[in-house]
C-alpha cells in the first residue's frame, strides 16, 4: 500500500520507520531544512534524533506530489495543524482515506479531530484515528506496542488495521471514533495532573487515586458526547492513560512536574521543545464539561493551574476538600 505521512515531526518519522518494512512510504515535511537533513543523513536531527529513516522512505516537501499516489494518508501533526493540513489536501482534490495521530480538541472551536475533518472534507470522507498507549521513540525502536484504529467506516477500520498491523505494532480495529478520540485527548490533561502529584511528592496512593478518578472523568465526558463506556477500559482509554501518566517520556507529565516546581508555563514549554497537547486541551475540556454539565474536577483544576488562577498546591487542596460522594454515581 502507498502511504503518505503528512508531518515530519516525531510521530511522522516514527510511523515512517514502522511502516517502511511492508509499505511504500512517503514522508512529507513542510520544513525544507528537516527534509534536507532527512535526505542527506536519513535522520531527523531537529525533531527525532537517534533514529534512522529507511532508505526506502521517500521524503518530499511538495505537498501535491506527496499525496498524488497515496492510498492512505496519515496526518502526523499536532491538533493545531490538522485543519490547515486537510484544507491543503482539499485544494489538491485528492480523495483517499485519512487517519490522524494527533490527540485533543481543536483550540477555539472545541471540536474533535473527526469533526474538523468532516467540516473541511465533508461528512462522506472516510477517516479515523490511530490512538493508544504509544511513545514515538518506542515505536521507532521496534518495541512491542498495541493501539486502536477507530474510524467512521467499520470495514475500512478493519482493513486498515489488518494492513498496518506488524509483529511489533499490533493494531486493533474499533468503531467508536468519538470514544477513542476523547480518551486520547483527556488523558493528556490528566497526565499533567499526575505530574503535579508526583512533583509534589504526594505518593503512590495519590497517583493511583488520581488516575482512577481521572478515568471516570474521561468516561463521563465521552458518554455525554455519544461514546461507548467500554472503550475507556481499552487501549485508547485506560491503556493510554496509564502510559501517559506514568511514563518518563510523557511530555504532559513533564509539564505537571514543572508546575509542581513553580516553573512558569512558558519556561516549561521552552524546555520541552515539543508540543504538549494537554496544555491546550485542558481549557477546551473544561469549557466543554461546563457546557455539557459534566463533573470533571481534576480537569478543571488543571485548567485553573495552567491559566494561573491556582498554583499546584492550591489545586490539590481544593480537590481534597470536595465533599464525599458515591464512587460510581
Average pLDDT in the chain:
96
Domains assigned to the chain: 2-175 (3.40.50.720), 185-320 (1.10.1040.10)
pLDDT at 284: 96
DSSP 110: -
Higher pLDDT pick, 187 / 324: 187
Adjacent-strand bridge partners of 255 = none
Q: How far apart are CA 195 and CA 329, in angstroms?
A: 27
Q: Model confidence at 325, in pLDDT bands (50, 70, 90)?
A: confident
pLDDT at 176: 98
Q: How far apart are CA 144 and CA 134, in angstroms?
A: 10
Say yes or no to pLDDT of 90 above 70. Answer: yes
Average pLDDT of the residues in 14-26 = 96
Say yes or no to pLDDT of 33 above 70. Answer: yes
pLDDT at 220: 97
pLDDT at 123: 96
pLDDT at 296: 97
Average pLDDT of the residues in 59-63 = 98
Average pLDDT of the residues in 111-138 = 98
Average pLDDT of the residues in 261-278 = 92
Q: Coil, helix or strand for 231? A: helix
pLDDT at 273: 85
pLDDT at 329: 66
Judge whether 192 and 302 are in contact, CB under 8 Å: yes
Summarize pLDDT for 273-303 with one digit per residue, the tens.
888 999 999 999 999 999 999 999 999 999 9
Average pLDDT of the residues in 128-143 = 97
**Is residue 111 annotated as a catalytic residue, yes or no?**
no
Judge whether 268 and 159 are in contact, CB under 8 Å: no
Average pLDDT of the residues in 153-170 = 96
Q: How far apart are CA 66 and CA 89, in angstroms?
A: 10
Average pLDDT of the residues in 165-187 = 96
Average pLDDT of the residues in 146-173 = 96
Q: Model confidence at 324, in pLDDT bands (50, 70, 90)?
A: confident
Summarize pLDDT for 206-216 with one digit per residue, the tens.
999 999 999 99
Q: How far apart are CA 177 and CA 195, in angstroms?
A: 28
Cβ count within 10 A of residue 85? 24
Query: Given 94, 103, 111, 187, which residue is catalytic?
Result: 187
Average pLDDT of the residues in 77-95 = 97
Q: Model confidence at 247, in pLDDT bands (50, 70, 90)?
A: very high
Q: Coil, helix or strand for 322? A: coil
Amino acid at each position: 500500500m502507498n502511504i503518505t505521512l503528512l508531518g515530519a515531526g516525531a510521530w511522522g518519522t516514527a510511523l515512517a520507520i514502522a511502516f517502511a518494512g511492508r509499505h511504500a512510504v512517503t514522508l512529507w515535511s513542510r520544513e525544507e531544512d528537516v527534509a534536507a537533513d532527512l535526505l542527506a543523513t536519513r535522520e531527523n536531527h531537529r525533531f527525532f534524533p537517534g533514529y534512522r529513516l529507511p532508505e526506502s522512505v521517500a521524503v518530499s516537501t511538495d505537498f501535491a506530489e506527496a499525496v498524488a499516489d497515496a492510498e492512505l494518508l496519515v496526518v502526523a501533526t499536532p491538533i493545531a495543524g490538522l485543519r490547515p493540513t486537510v484544507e491543503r489536501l482539499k485544494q489538491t482534490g485528492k480523495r483517499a482515506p485519512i487517519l490522524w495521530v494527533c490527540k485533543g480538541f481543536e483550540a477555539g472551536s472545541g471540536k474533535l479531530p473527526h469533526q474538523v475533518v468532516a467540516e473541511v472534507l465533508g461528512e462522506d470522507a472516510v477517516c479515523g484515528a490511530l490512538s493508544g498507549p504509544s511513545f514515538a521513540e518506542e515505536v521507532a525502536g521496534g518495541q512491542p506496542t498495541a493501539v486502536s484504529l477507530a474510524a467512521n467506516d467499520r470495514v475500512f477500520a478493519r482493513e486498515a488495521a489488518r494492513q498496518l498491523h506488524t509483529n511489533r505494532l499490533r493494531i486493533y480495529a474499533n468503531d467508536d471514533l468519538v470514544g477513542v478520540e476523547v480518551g486520547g485527548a483527556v488523558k493528556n490533561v490528566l497526565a499533567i495532573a499526575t505530574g503535579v502529584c508526583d512533583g509534589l511528592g504526594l505518593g503512590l496512593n495519590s497517583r493511583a487515586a488520581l488516575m482512577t478518578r481521572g478515568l471516570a472523568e474521561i468516561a463521563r465526558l465521552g458518554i455525554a458526547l455519544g461514546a461507548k463506556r467500554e472503550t475507556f477500559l481499552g487501549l485508547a482509554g485506560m491503556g493510554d492513560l496509564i502510559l501517559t501518566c506514568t511514563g518518563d517520556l510523557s511530555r504532559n507529565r513533564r509539564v505537571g512536574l514543572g508546575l509542581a516546581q513553580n516553573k512558569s508555563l512558558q519556561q516549561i514549554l521552552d524546555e520541552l521543545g515539543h508540543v504538549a497537547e494537554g496544555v491546550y486541551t485542558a481549557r477546551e475540556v473544561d469549557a466543554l464539561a461546563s457546557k455539557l454539565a459534566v463533573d470533571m474536577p481534576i480537569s478543571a483544576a488543571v485548567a485553573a493551574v495552567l491559566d494561573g488562577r491556582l498554583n499546584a498546591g492550591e489545586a490539590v487542596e481544593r480537590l481534597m476538600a470536595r465533599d464525599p460522594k458515591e464512587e460510581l454515581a
